Amino acid sequence: MIQVAVHGAEGRMGRLLTGLVEDAADMDLCGLITETGREQPAGTFHARLPLLGQSAVADSLPEGCVIIDFSLAKALEGLLEQTARLKAPLVVGTTGFSDAQLAALADFGRSRPVVMAANFSVGIPALQMLLQLLARTLPSGFNAEQVETHHITKLDKPSGTARHLADAYRQVRGGAEVPTHSQRLGGVIGEHTWTFSDAEETLVISHRAHSRQAFMRGVLPSVRYAAAQDNGLVGLTEVLQWTAPNAG
């Protein structure tokens, strides 16, 4: 059994992830983690497990357990300190990290496995691969723009996923940043639409999430991947290739 803890357990995604791990036949939920000072005993937030403050992680959880982090960027420093002591792999879905924080994650990845993605749906890595293919293939006269749409309560604009996709495209294509337009409308779960056009043709590619569960489809494969590795920082694309029927 893979021992798994959820960091950011009180959040909307944290609650969904808790149920997801508990339902996995090959995983055992061993910890729920929140901000220090918000601890709760077993039987309150969760029937079986206490809600641990971040500062208690290394002294309370089993060594080597996989920690899933869907929290806030500001919690990263404390999480890395505790996780290093615990020798625990990380699966990170938090967004909004600074360059210094990304460097800290890369450094952590030299000694422990880290899977990091702005979006754990299956469709987003596929969209990224298509964008990079188009970046290599379309003639230089084609311009690209992105529109991302989410629910009205989403705070970051543009979304972490939109920034990630734009960076992936630009790394291959070069040139200026891809114009990205953000919409916050009603209860839209998440949509990312790319339009490519020159004077003669237009190409449109979209990804639409139908439910929040779509954002978690890659989490359990990522946990299994992280539990099987020695070290290294990877994205969801590498995980999906590792788990594909014809992999290896």
Q: Is 123-211 in CATH node 3.30.70.2860?
A: no
Q: What are the tens digits of pLDDT across the range 13-39?
A: 899 999 999 999 999 999 999 999 999
Residue 172 has φ and ψ, to the nearest 5°, of -90, -45
Q: Which CATH code is given to the segment(s) 2-117+218-243? A: 3.40.50.720
Q: Pairing mode, if any, of strands 202-209 and 190-197?
A: antiparallel
| 154 part of the active site | yes
Model pLDDT, residue 248: 37
Q: So where are the chain's domains?
A: 2-117+218-243, 123-211
| 181 part of the active site | no
Contact between 89 and 109 under an 8 Å Cβ cutoff? The reply is no
Predicted structure pTM score? 0.82
Model pLDDT, residue 160: 87
Find where tokens 């950011």 sit.
Answer: 8
Model pLDDT, residue 212: 82
> With a cut of 50, which residues of the chain have pLDDT below it?
246-248
Q: Which of 46, 74, 87, 150 is catalytic?
A: 150
Model pLDDT, residue 86: 96
Contact between 193 and 146 under an 8 Å Cβ cutoff? The reply is yes
Model pLDDT, residue 245: 58
Model pLDDT, residue 33: 98
Q: Which two tokens stand for residue 113?
A: 């496995």
Q: Which of 46, 74, 151, 154 is catalytic?
A: 154
